[in-house]
Amino acid sequence: METLMRCEPEEISIKKIAQASRGGSSGAAKFKPSYFDDPIRSRSKPQPQDATAGYSETDYEVGTRNPIVERKVGKAAEDKPRSARSSFSSYFDSMATPAGNDAKDVDAEAKAPRSAPASYLDAMAPAAGEAEPAPTKKDEGARTGGGGYFDSIDAVHPSHAKERDEDRETLRPNPYITNDAVYEYKVLIDPMSLAKRILTVREQLAGEWREDLKLIDLANQELLRYHYDETVLGEKEAEKGSMLVFESDPFGPSSPYRAESYKLLTEMVTTVAMRRFEMEVEKKNNPKAKQWLKTIKTEAEEKGLEGNDLIKYIFKSAKEGAETAEERAEATYTAERLARVIMSQRAAVAEENLGGLAETKADHSAILTRMLNEQLKKEMSIVDKLEYEYKISVAAE
């Protein structure tokens, strides 16, 4: 924290380019156009008629060449650009009546007798000896790029072929941004101001932790009461009668995620208590307690039990291997005794941390005082600095 406070303020510039694209650089993933693209682009940004000059008869989509989906630019498309509706040729268009047939031909064909088709595909195909009608110039212009569904969604308007080829490595232009202006923002980074804000948050958290650590003793009492209810009434009735420890006032000036912070505190305190209990077992050289503790730790790690859940599991685990009533009574006594030892260690760890958190405000004041003295020394002249150091040394003596 003191290192951060000693840093000099620095002004940095942030440049932001308002690119007429949907973000990303040349290495970004290419955005494949959809069938909504052509009508929007044709309305928002009209192109000149000679935009396809210099291109071959076959042009492809933006990005790499697609050998499967390609479209032939016919004479009708070169003379007159396609309309927005022509790009929406779909599967249903392929089943529609050709535009060259008039109403009389359609009625005559409907009245003529025809054999029943063998299948659905045969019904779609023309009858034997029946020639397909030649497409008119209107149909040729409307169906440029194929009459299939996939051809319609991958079709590229000729007026945009040159633009997409030049911008092959960039994303599709954004119609809502029309300029490529560069905006520059200047931000002043003041390390002293940042450090003071961090100290303020740290002091608030320390005050909340002091209040929450006092609840560890209440949580121990609630765990014992839950164990008694579970032994006498059963697990379901014990869950019904369990009560939440009052962690914080929801309408008070608490920091965000205070409940999660309290949960982490209980887990850390329980972990320290288990380590201390393990050290006591090692000193007393009790093989039975050592084996029991090793088993409990292994099973708790596998099930992810920490904090209050670990204490509850200690009460339950001792009864699982007992078969007779005497063994169950002895296991209950042993589990309760060991759990009480661990909970007493939890209360002791919480009390020790309360003393350290009480000094947080004094530590912050000392840090700010040292930083203020260093700033004064930098701003004073050489003579004033020597005089100031002399006064400090005299006051210290």
Taking the mean position of all CA atoms in its chain, how far away is CA 32? 25
Beta-bridge mates of residue 182: 17
Question: What pLDDT is recorded for position 55?
Answer: 40
Question: What pLDDT is recorded for position 384?
Answer: 76
Cα–Cα distance measured from residue 28 to residue 394, given in angstroms and rounded to the nearest whole number? 67
Share of the chain above pLDDT 70, in %: 46
Instruction: Give pLDDT tens digits for 31-40.
Output: 444 444 444 4
Q: Is residue 385 included in any domain, yes or no?
A: no
Q: Is residue 128 included in any domain, yes or no?
A: yes
Question: What pLDDT is recorded for position 29?
Answer: 39
Domain of residue 250 covers 214-358
Cα–Cα distance measured from residue 93 to residue 25, given in angstroms and rounded to the nearest whole number? 39
Q: Is residue 286 included in any domain, yes or no?
A: yes
Say if residue 172 is in the same domain as residue 250: no
Q: Is residue 397 included in any domain, yes or no?
A: no
Give yes or no for residue 126 having a pLDDT over 50. yes
Say if residue 163 is in the same domain as residue 239: no
Distances (CA, A) of 262 to 70, 123, 250, 276: 63, 73, 14, 21
Say if residue 173 is in the same domain as residue 263: no
Task: Provide mean pLDDT across the span 148-157.
Answer: 52
Cα–Cα distance measured from residue 163 to residue 211, given in angstroms and rounded to the nearest whole number? 66
Question: What pLDDT is recorded for position 27?
Answer: 39
* Tokens matching residue 97: 């009546």
Say if residue 31 is in the same domain as residue 142: yes
Question: What pLDDT is recorded for position 92?
Answer: 47
Give yes or no for residue 261 having a pLDDT over 80. yes
Say if residue 61 is in the same domain as residue 175: yes
Q: Is residue 187 included in any domain, yes or no?
A: no
Question: What pLDDT is recorded for position 242?
Answer: 60
Q: In total, how many domains does the chain have?
A: 2
Say if residue 173 is in the same domain as residue 248: no
Say if residue 29 is in the same domain as residue 95: yes
Q: Is residue 269 included in any domain, yes or no?
A: yes
Nearest to 235 by CA among 244, 227, 245: 227
Question: What pLDDT is recorded for position 284?
Answer: 79
Distances (CA, A) of 319 to 231, 334, 364: 11, 10, 50
The 3-state DSSP class for residue 12 equals strand
Written as one string, the DSSP assignment of 28-68 is SPP----TTHHHHHHHHS---GGGGTT--SEE--SSS--SS
Say if residue 334 is in the same domain as residue 235: yes
Say if residue 54 is in the same domain as residue 165: yes
Taking the mean position of all CA atoms in its chain, how far away is CA 383? 57
Give yes or no for residue 188 having a pLDDT over 80. yes
- The more confident residue out of 51 and 112 is 112
**pLDDT-based confidence at 158, cuts 50/70/90?**
low
- Residue that terminates a domain, selected from 327, 342, 358: 358
- The more confident residue out of 149 and 391 is 391
Task: Provide mean pLDDT across the span 101-120.
Answer: 51
- The more confident residue out of 356 and 9 is 356
- Residue that terminates a domain, selected from 165, 180, 195: 180
Question: What pLDDT is recorded for position 388?
Answer: 79
Instruction: Give pLDDT tens digits for 202-227.
Output: 888 888 888 888 888 888 888 877 77
Give yes or no for residue 21 having a pLDDT over 70. no
- Residue that terminates a domain, selected from 180, 205, 240: 180
Cα–Cα distance measured from residue 391 to residue 397, given in angstroms and rounded to the nearest whole number? 10
Instruction: Give pLDDT tens digits for 314-364.
Output: 877 755 555 556 655 555 556 777 788 888 888 888 888 888 888 888 888
Nearest to 364 by CA among 200, 233, 157: 200
Give yes or no for residue 390 having a pLDDT over 70. yes
Calculate the average pLDDT of the chain.
65
Task: Provide mean pLDDT across the span 141-152.
Answer: 49
Distances (CA, A) of 169 to 28, 30, 298, 312: 8, 7, 55, 60
Q: Is residue 203 included in any domain, yes or no?
A: no
Say if residue 254 is in the same domain as residue 310: yes
Q: Is residue 382 included in any domain, yes or no?
A: no
Question: What pLDDT is recorded for position 49?
Answer: 45
Question: What pLDDT is recorded for position 108?
Answer: 54
**pTM tops 0.75, yes or no:** no
Question: What pLDDT is recorded for position 358?
Answer: 82
Say if residue 234 is in the same domain as residue 329: yes
Instruction: Give pLDDT tens digits for 270-324.
Output: 888 888 888 888 887 777 777 777 888 888 888 888 888 888 888 777 555 555 5
The 3-state DSSP class for residue 227 equals helix
Say if residue 287 is in the same domain as residue 151: no
- The more confident residue out of 56 and 18 is 18
